[in-house]
Structure 1
Amino acid sequence: MRPIRSVTLSALTAAALVLSGSACQSGEETGSVEEIIIGADLELSGPTAAIGQAYRRALELKISQVNDSGVLGDRTLKLDIKDNGTDTSRSLTNVGEFANNPDVAAIIMGTCAECVVKAVDTVEGRRIPTIALAPAGNVASPVNERQWVFKVGPNAVDNAAALTAELTADKRTRVGVLFADDAYGREGRDALEDAIEGAAGAAQDIEISGKVPVRPTDTDVSQAMETLLETEPDAIVVWTFAEQAALAAANAKQAKFRGGLYFDAAAAGDLFLSGQPAINGATMVFTQTMVIDGVIATTPATAARKQWFRDYTAQYGSYYGFSSFAADAVQMVTNALQQSPTVSRDSIRSIVETSQFDGLSGPIRITPDNHSGLMPQALTVLVARSGRWHLAS
């Protein structure tokens, strides 16, 4: 906050006269601040509430940092958050309210892919820039039907390629797949199968022994894991969110499974795995920011990621993997506002569609032909050791 200067009574009187004589002057002339609202439709309750709460914390922290930095001059960001409870109808109502508010410049949507897909007609019809944090590819594709929708987060095809490389390096030959029976889980199942079938060399020796779905709302995956273990895999790929991945790991340990556990990026949750010893030894594909505290900063981008990690941890006590995606969504809007002389949804959309920057999650490149911005180079391999995630190397 700026220090308040003391003034004399005469000065106050003079100021009052000036103001009364210029009440019709514009906010720009009087030095007022223009407030720009970002609407956030998040899963703050329901099966993915942990991710929704992490997104909320990240959005609040990042917007506070943007406002404190003064990079927007006489503009300031304000966050308007609504809980959709992973209910598509409730989410659609939230998006409609944001779209109908002319003060809302952009919308950020959470991890519910079905919510984004259902809201596409509203988003496109009302022409409001929307950034989805859901991992499913169909939130931003096909582009010709998603002109106003963009995505930040890992892509199934990139994750599948990275996991296939790890399975090959570890000489796995029979792989079981446990996947969430939703848009992203099914996309991941198909992407992994395609990656294995299309790989050259040793990867061609990998056989998928079984593919078993679980409902995203399931709090018990033991039966699914039992079915998968009956196929006698020497590795299991878990393509679910963190809570179900932890359950799968516990079931595998209880069954004395001695093969390898491999997690897709969706399984990234808390950095520290307190109370989840079964995850130790598991491999996960995710962004480097999750473990950036163990990386030496050799570039400005790495230094920024380390600072974000420290700021988030200091504010909230621990680090949650998905938080950087939400922060990068805010940065995309901020960058567009910095480059736009006027605040309009059309200008924000046009600038976001050509976004190129080194985000907190990794390099982000969006083009008119590709609205999913996180580059494959952002992914790295992590391993769970001593109750937390580390770089595999």
Structure 2
Amino acid sequence: MATPVTGPSVVTRRGVLAAAASTLLLSACGRDGGREDAVARPTPGHELVIGATLELSGPGAALGVLQQRALAISAAALNEKGVAVGNLRRRVRVEVLDNRSDPRLAARQATELGRRNDVHALLGATLAETSMSVIGVAQKLRLPFVSLAFGDSIAVPLAQRAYVYKVTPDAGDVARRLAQLISSEGLRRVVVLAEDGLHGDSGVRAMRGALRTAEVGLASTVRLPAGRAGMARAAEQAVAAGADGVVVWATAPHSGAAARALRAAGHDGELFFDAGAVAEETLDRPNLPAVEGSYAVHPSSLGGSTIANSSAAGRAYRDLVSAYIRAHGAYRGFAPYASDALLLISTAARLADSVDRGRLRAYLQNQVTDGLAGMYSFTPIRHSGMDRHSLGVYRVDGGAWNRLS
């Protein structure tokens, strides 16, 4: 088993920032300092192997399938040249497994992957519950794991998450933006309609504090059922509170179903979504009448308004969108968290000059990276790296997400 590398004598943020000047995104786009590098190719027989457990079926498929598609595109882009690790260029091989939205299956898959000597890191799990089931395995096997799920408890407490990292935004950052938006719209009282589970728990806690700070009243907190049964009753309870607006804190597909149920129950006021609601399914025809005019707080990739267009990240994002449209026909602005997880792990390997698990972990927790969804800044005391300034406010107008701020 690889020995973890720790301590400031091994890795410093200054060293990481200096080394990061030549970003891996440029390699993925086929550019190096503005010049083509036609000589570089992956070294035969040498790989960076990443296991991925994703919800390709079951309730989490609305998010998991999107991430699998983005991951395949980004892996292919990286493999045009490979990842420079020491004096080798390693081909990235991602082994994707369908956990069927089942936490127990996700844990078994993580165990099987983690016990293999040729697997260097793990990413995936778009649901909080499946991610939580992987955490114990990652810690026990000392396997770096980058989670794509929403829920603050994924990355804390830090003492039990030494090998665990999260690329989705923190609930507190999203809640503050939502509360500021609600206040600026002149709403005085809102209901929080939150899904059952860890993600909903994070949202309820965060919205209570954020609304209090923004001096907006919380009329009621209603929890959505785990399945579709009981959705109408939860919506009726929310509408009965007589608030000006409703914050739906739920991942797709529950978010779209909740919006439909709220409109059917008579809510004609404002609707607000957290970032977990943004998926292709949310803007599908059955949901569109209910979500038209609603708001969401989401990373900057939504609606095609990515990070500065002239940046390496902006170019890589446009390449991903073009490839996605060619392969799948349409791109609806979801955040490519899986692509960023792949970028983070690949960058860690490049900076570490190694695929050793302990060294990957050390360089992950000292990494500042401009990703496709937004900016990430990880530290030894913060494993939830999405920068709050990467978040924007969006509204559904004409069946599309449009950025307001």
Same fold, TM-score > 0.5, yes or no: yes
In the alignment, is residue 47 of structure 1 matched against residue 59 of structure 2?
Answer: yes
Q: Which of residues 96, 116, 122 in structure 2 aligns to 1:107?
A: 122
TM-score for both structures, normalised by structure 1: 0.86
Q: Which of residues 41, 44, 49 in structure 2 aligns to 1:37?
A: 49
Q: Which of residues 113, 116, 140 in structure 2 aligns to 1:125?
A: 140
In the alignment, is residue 314 of structure 1 matched against residue 329 of structure 2?
Answer: no
Aligned to 1:215: 225
**CA shift at 1:293, angstroms?**
5.5
Aligned to 1:373: 385
For residues 134-153 of structure 1, the C-alpha deviation after alignment (integer angstroms, 9 at most, x for no partner) is 11111111111110001111
Aligned to 2:261: 251
**Counterpart Cα distance in 2 of 1:90 and 1:172:** 44
Aligned to 2:211: 196
In the alignment, is residue 362 of structure 1 matched against residue 377 of structure 2?
Answer: no
Higher RCO, 1 vs 2 (CA within 8 Å, ≥6 residues apart):
2
In the alignment, is residue 68 of structure 1 matched against residue 80 of structure 2?
Answer: yes
**Counterpart Cα distance in 1 of 2:128 and 2:305:** 31
* Contact 2:191–2:220 (Cα < 8 Å) also in 1: yes
Q: Does the residue aligned with 2:93 lie in a helix, a strand or coil?
A: strand
Aligned to 1:84: 99
Q: Which of residues 171, 176, 184 in structure 2 aligns to 1:156?
A: 171
* Contact 1:133–1:326 (Cα < 8 Å) also in 2: yes
In the alignment, is residue 329 of structure 1 matched against residue 341 of structure 2?
Answer: yes
Unaligned runs of 5+ in 2: 1-42
* Contact 1:271–1:319 (Cα < 8 Å) also in 2: no
**CA shift at 1:278, angstroms?**
1.7
**Counterpart Cα distance in 1 of 2:344 and 2:160:** 21
* Contact 1:289–1:306 (Cα < 8 Å) also in 2: no
**CA shift at 1:50, angstroms?**
1.7
**CA shift at 1:245, angstroms?**
1.8
**Counterpart Cα distance in 1 of 2:307 and 2:89:** 36
Distance change in 2, residues 1:271/1:255 (3 Å): closer
For residues 165-221 of structure 1, the C-alpha deviation after alignment (integer angstroms, 9 at most, x for no partner) is 000000111101110110010110110001112x1xxx31x2111111112332662
Distance change in 2, residues 1:293/1:173 (3 Å): closer
Give the counterpart letter for 1:234 in structure 2.
D
Aligned to 2:20: none
**Counterpart Cα distance in 2 of 1:379 and 1:84:** 29
In the alignment, is residue 175 of structure 1 matched against residue 187 of structure 2?
Answer: no
**Counterpart Cα distance in 2 of 1:124 and 1:352:** 15
**Counterpart Cα distance in 1 of 2:104 and 2:316:** 38
Give the counterpart letter for 1:214 in structure 2.
L
**CA shift at 1:35, angstroms?**
2.1
Percent sequence identity is: 29
Aligned to 1:21: none
Q: Does the residue aligned with 1:241 lie in a helix, a strand or coil?
A: coil
Q: Which has the larger radius of gyration?
A: 1
Q: Which of residues 200, 206, 210 in structure 2 aligns to 1:185?
A: 200
In the alignment, is residue 305 of structure 1 matched against residue 329 of structure 2?
Answer: no
Unaligned runs of 5+ in 1: 1-30
Aligned to 2:247: 237
Instruction: Figure out how many residues of one structure are paired with residues of the other and give that number.
Output: 358
**Counterpart Cα distance in 1 of 2:226 and 2:332:** 20
For residues 268-327 of structure 1, the C-alpha deviation after alignment (integer angstroms, 9 at most, x for no partner) is 012882412221100000012111259972544333333332232232222254451110
The CA RMSD over aligned residues, in Å, is 1.9
* Contact 1:271–1:321 (Cα < 8 Å) also in 2: no
Aligned to 2:363: 351
